[in-house]
Amino acid sequence: MSQSPETITRKGGCACGSVTYAVVGKPLFSIYCHCTQCQRADGAAFVASMHYTDSAYSWTYTAENEPDVELLDGMVLYRCKKCRSCAATQFPGNKNWALRATQLERDENGKIINWEGVKPTSHIFYNTRVVDVADDLPKWEGHAGRSTRLD
């Protein structure tokens, strides 16, 4: 019998594995973010991000590998001290976590496990993109459903 999307535990972590996390259930939402903060934080054109509540999320790390906390343009970044990967992001004013889809556990073929349950459903802050993306997902000027849709 397959597991319900609400009870699936997904695991992920930084590039070197010193900081890991687990989340339970479906994300609140999953997006491709093209905002300048995500571009700067990850050095990428855009970030595949899953957002979870504080209660669904848990960290695992040793005392010497506790993530460094950095502030960047209103976001709180948690970076691994060894590999400097951004393990998670939190936004002041709420207790939700943004996790990078690229850091999720993968199968023997390199595919993200249970991808269908976490794959992004839209692009946000598409007006600050550095690359055009030719897919059928909605593209928003700002936050999905709270800004102008660009396509």
- pLDDT of 135: 96
56 lies in which domain range? Answer: 9-128
CATH number at 78 reads 2.170.150.70
Q: What is the pLDDT of residues 35-83, one digit of tens each?
A: 998 898 888 999 999 998 887 778 777 677 888 999 888 789 898 999 9
Q: What is the pLDDT of residues 82-112, one digit of tens each?
A: 999 988 888 777 778 899 999 999 999 999 9
Q: Is residue 79 part of a domain?
A: yes
Q: Is residue 145 part of a domain?
A: no
* DSSP annotation of 36: H
pTM (2 d.p.):
0.86
Distances (CA, A) of 6 to 24, 30, 42, 61, 139: 7, 15, 29, 25, 27
Distances (CA, A) of 112 to 3, 23, 98, 105, 107: 16, 14, 17, 6, 6
Number of domains in the chain: 1
Q: Is residue 30 part of a domain?
A: yes
Q: Is residue 139 part of a domain?
A: no
Q: Which two tokens stand for residue 91?
A: 């936004």
